[in-house]
Amino acid sequence: MNFERMLAKAKQLDGCTVSIAGAADVEVIRAVKLATDHGLSRFILFGDAREIKRLCDDEGIAENAVDILHVKGEADIAKRATLAVRNGEADVLMKGMVATSTFMKAVLSREAGLRTNRTLSHVALFQIPNREQLIGVTDAAIHIAPTLEEKVEIIHNAVGAMRDIGYDLPRVAAIGAVEVVNTQMAATMDAALLTQMNRRGQIKGCVVDGPLALDNAVDMVAAKQKGIDSDVAGQADLLLVPYIEVGNVLYKSIMYFAGASVAAIVVGAAAPVVLTSRADTAEAKLYSLAFALLHAKN
């Protein structure tokens, strides 16, 4: 699986609509342009209607591809965009030019948001140059120091999202600093427990192994040098990180040192949420939209 194949699968979906909170931003509108050119979805754009209309005209976006709704104030913009998804007018919610805290407050609102009884978590997919397959990372953005129970939910969320884009049985590596259990390193203890839970059928739809250090999770030569024989080592599809610091540094290292393209969504809510950075390119937003739409429709 790569982003082009993922995009091609998303283009086969019918009747998709995306609600964007704070669409008065050039990179957001460029992503809308790319998505409409690919026939990916329609859009409901919330924010400063005059500015959004100007940007849409500048990018040559067809009027029938978007609905523009004028809303003032970040809190109201986030609320109205979220309500559009909650009320069934859109399939996916996307963050535009609004503060992340304001946006997530709307998502988590009990009265008007997308809260469910599931744990929310962040899933990122990376397309790394000279690597054939995408690789996922979870959770690099929401959970600071997840408990064992939360890690089970994080795996469940990420595996569901990856299965929706075409991974039949994702291989999940529970990452640690070393590939052996060390009672003084909580991450290795959790990884071993998650592996055993998977083997006993408590975590389904994937293969989990850990603890695995990063090198022997993604490189077969490294795995063989350490004498590790498993269905995950050297060929992981998804990296489960133990703490947010590990996820954040890994995410940014892949982006800045490896020159990877990224798609990222939040799962576990009533609908997928595209939570991109303001620094993300229009192309990254397009891939994130494709990821979210496939998750929403499968």
Summarised one tens digit per residue, pLDDT across range 126-163 is 999 988 899 999 999 999 999 999 999 999 999 999 99
Select from 133, 130, 143, 120 the least CA-distant residue to 248.
143
Same structural domain for residues 83 and 183? no
Under a CB-based contact definition with an 8 Å cutoff, are residues 261 and 201 in contact? no
In a domain, 84, yes or no: yes
Give the type of residue at 7: L
Give the domain CATH number at 136: 3.40.718.10
- Identify whether 281 is part of a domain: yes
Domain hosting residue 21, numbered range: 3-115+269-297
Residues 6+ apart with CB under 8 A from 278: 25, 27, 97
In a domain, 179, yes or no: yes
pTM for the predicted model, two decimal places: 0.93
Tell me: the pLDDT tens digits for 253-267? 999 999 999 999 999
Alpha helices in the chain (DSSP H): 3-11, 26-37, 49-59, 74-86, 100-108, 148-164, 186-199, 214-218, 220-225, 244-256, 282-297
Give the separation between CA 295 and CA 166, rounded to whole angstroms: 10
Over range 9-32, report the average pLDDT: 93
Number of domains in the chain: 2
Domain check: are 7 and 108 in the same one? yes
Q: What is the pLDDT of residue 276?
A: 77
DSSP string, 6-43: HHHHHHT--S-EEEEES--SHHHHHHHHHHHHTT--EE
Please give the helix or strand (H or E) that residue 206 lies within, else none.
none
Q: Is the pLDDT of residue 277 over 80?
A: no
Does residue 70 form part of some domain? yes
Question: Would the pLDDT of 194 be above 90?
Answer: yes
